[in-house]
Structure 1
Amino acid sequence: MTDRELDLALDELSTWEGDAAPLDPAARHRVRTRLLSAMEVRRPLWQRPGLRIAVTGLATAAVAATVLVAVRDDGGSAGPATAQRTEQPAVRPVSARTVLAGAAVYEREHSQAPATPPRDDQFIYTKEIIKETNQKTGETKTHVDEDWRSVDGSQRSWVMEIGKGWWSEPLKKNESSWPPQDWTVLEKLPTDPEKLILSLLHKNGGSAKNDSLAHITAQDWSLIHFSLAGLLKLVPVMPEGLRPAAYEALAKVPGVKTVPDQKDAKGRTGVAITYKDPTLPKGVTSFGGYFIFDPKTYEFLGFKDDRTSGDGAKKKTYTQLSYLDSWAITDKVKQRP
């Protein structure tokens, strides 16, 4: 969107008739995300929210966390040239910050916390679909994983991975696990992204001695990313506002970047968010893999991960595409909703 087009759009909004038919929710979301993306491009780096701290250290990450998306002036995807229109489509950068901000907006508009929060003695049931492809042979298998996780960790949980399940024993006294399923613990997490980061930093025993993001070390950011990725990936139901805050907090992690043209498990093309952890050895990927989002609405579509098995000549590498099919709150383990 050019400066001229944005000015015209604002002029049109200023003359909107009060009795005109309102936009439907989908249209409102498209307008909001397009304006958000336009503002991301128009504003200098040092004026963007959350980028005033550690600008020098983040500048390289900001450049690396950018993909180019072709768009038509009318907001649709760029198509082939015609006799009436032969110029190249406009190209605008879409940063990880823009994608995750759009994802937070989408979550606030579409997700709802359960009317009745889960009790400590209940279980969180999830059904996940995983399509796994052998990178060498191209063979693909589909797995259905069903988990029942104890809300407060006091009971045995049933956990599955690529079709195989096992019992996870209850937490022992003074033990805890991350991410929590316990609603009382989740409610205590801040819904302000910066405060959420600091909360996770202090829980992990981070080295920062003050309440600022400015002096967080690379090792601390690695732990913060691990905590945020786990929260977003393994907790299907959260108190209102926590998931959007986690998306916004993830956008502040240096090294988070976008990867365009990523297919999800249903064959849809999206833009992915991933993290290059500078503290890990070469060739080792960070937890969480790729979070794939719709490139227009920023709705979350699913995950992409790599998995290896075997060693040496018998080593196999798989690409996993997965998504959450459904979730529910149950009274007993292995009780289906």
Structure 2
Amino acid sequence: MQLLRDFAGPAGLPPAGELARKRAELLAAAARPRPRRAVWGGVTAAGLAAAAAAVVVLTPAAPVSRPAEPEPVRILHAAAAKARALPDLVPRPDQFVYTKTRLADGRENEMWASVDGTHDGLAFLYGHETEVAGCRDGERVQHESHGRTVTNRCVPHPAAPADLPTDADAMLAYLHRSTYGEGDTLHDLGNEVVDLAGGYLRPAVRAALYEALAKVPGLVVRADAKDATGRSVLGITWDSTTEQGIGNQEEFRFDPVTFAYLGTGTDAVVSQGIVDAVRQRP
């Protein structure tokens, strides 16, 4: 108190009126409701962490932009998804894959190809009926006109191959081991793709074929293409010409709505199915 007196110096009491006014101001201030203080002092570290986590969960993450797929790849992936959703029909070895195609000049071909490649099939090609002999015991006995037969050594070529890959990478490796030459060129691979696609493939296998084709470089889309029946189609093309000038520009054709396979650049698939005997149609 002595220090306060030494610092402030001598001072007398304020007048009574001034004391009364200050007392009234103090009582009025005490009667007013005090503003609510923040409660951070009572929040634990765990509570703060939970609140922060809630903010993180409730805050939407910024969308990650992905590069758009090239149009040929998008179409092939869509066709693969549609193929994979089809019913999985497993043909018997003694059945036949029936295929009817139409050429650009209006002519139609029909083929009954053996599912396992060992049974005798039949083909109507360009107006002529031709027996397609099966390969049995390593030999193919082809019956020709005037009762003549020709026997050749062979390996069965199934119209509905079994145990084909259902994975895109495995399918691409299979295509590169094609029966057409060494399988090291795009021309060889294109021949194998067209050959496989024209036969019967189980849904997962056909999907893998389209996904494998999507990995081939240099694909181009023809959105204004039409097939031999006049149908509007999506054409997927790639140049398979070899360095020696052998080959051409292959083309896969799909329905623009259902993405069903409709043939290649040389013919249009009109009908296809599994039948029990030659000359039978689905």
- TM superposition score category, shorter chain reference: 0.5 to 0.7
- 247 and 173 in structure 1: CA distance in 2 versus 1, 3 angstrom threshold: same
The letter for the 2-side match of 1:231 is L
1:101 aligns with 2:77: yes
1:256 aligns with 2:280: no
Deviation at 1:199, TM superposition (A): 2.5
- 101 and 127 in structure 1: CA distance in 2 versus 1, 3 angstrom threshold: same
Name the residue aligned to 1:86.
Answer: none
Q: Report Cα offsets for 1:281-320 as digits up to 9, x if no partner.
A: 447425xx42222345533344332xxxxxxxxxxxxxxx
RMSD: 3.1
Name the residue aligned to 1:329.
Answer: 275
Q: Report Cα offsets for 1:205-234 as digits up to 9, x if no partner.
A: 987xxxxxxxxxx8344322221221102x
- 164 and 322 in structure 1: CA distance in 2 versus 1, 3 angstrom threshold: farther
1:228 aligns with 2:204: no
> In the comparison of the two structures, how many residue pairs are matched?
205
The structure having more radius of gyration, on CA atoms, is 2
State the secondary structure of the residue aligned to 1:241.
Answer: helix
The letter for the 2-side match of 1:219 is D
Deviation at 1:258, TM superposition (A): 1.9
TM-score norm. by structure 2 comes to 0.61
State the secondary structure of the residue aligned to 1:333.
Answer: coil
- 277 and 121 in structure 1: CA distance in 2 versus 1, 3 angstrom threshold: same
In 1, Cα distance between equivalents of 2:77 and 2:129:
36
Residues 1-337 of structure 1 mapped to structure 2, 5 A cutoff:
42-43=66-67, 94-109=70-85, 111-114=86-89, 117-128=90-101, 130-133=102-105, 142-174=106-138, 175-176=154-155, 178=157, 180-182=158-160, 186-202=161-177, 204=179, 219-233=184-198, 235=199, 237-279=200-242, 281-282=244-245, 284-285=247-248, 289-305=250-266, 321-330=267-276, 332-337=277-282
In 2, Cα distance between equivalents of 1:101 and 1:229:
17
Deviation at 1:323, TM superposition (A): 2.0
- 161 and 275 in structure 1: CA distance in 2 versus 1, 3 angstrom threshold: farther
State the secondary structure of the residue aligned to 1:219.
Answer: coil
The letter for the 2-side match of 1:246 is L
- 272 and 280 in structure 1: CA distance in 2 versus 1, 3 angstrom threshold: farther
Given that residues 131 and 265 in structure 1 are in contact (C-alpha distance below 8 angstroms), is that contact kept between their aligned partners in structure 2? yes
Given that residues 225 and 253 in structure 1 are in contact (C-alpha distance below 8 angstroms), is that contact kept between their aligned partners in structure 2? no
In 2, Cα distance between equivalents of 1:112 and 1:147:
23
In 2, Cα distance between equivalents of 1:294 and 1:155:
32
In 1, Cα distance between equivalents of 2:174 and 2:261:
25
Given that residues 97 and 272 in structure 2 are in contact (C-alpha distance below 8 angstroms), is that contact kept between their aligned partners in structure 1? no
The letter for the 2-side match of 1:292 is R
Name the residue aligned to 1:51.
Answer: none
In 2, Cα distance between equivalents of 1:119 and 1:295:
32
Given that residues 293 and 302 in structure 1 are in contact (C-alpha distance below 8 angstroms), is that contact kept between their aligned partners in structure 2? yes
State the identity %.
Answer: 29
Deviation at 1:275, TM superposition (A): 2.2
Given that residues 124 and 130 in structure 2 are in contact (C-alpha distance below 8 angstroms), is that contact kept between their aligned partners in structure 1? yes
In 2, Cα distance between equivalents of 1:324 and 1:203:
27
- 155 and 280 in structure 1: CA distance in 2 versus 1, 3 angstrom threshold: farther
TM-score norm. by structure 1 comes to 0.52
- 125 and 249 in structure 1: CA distance in 2 versus 1, 3 angstrom threshold: same
- 162 and 281 in structure 1: CA distance in 2 versus 1, 3 angstrom threshold: farther
- 324 and 155 in structure 1: CA distance in 2 versus 1, 3 angstrom threshold: same
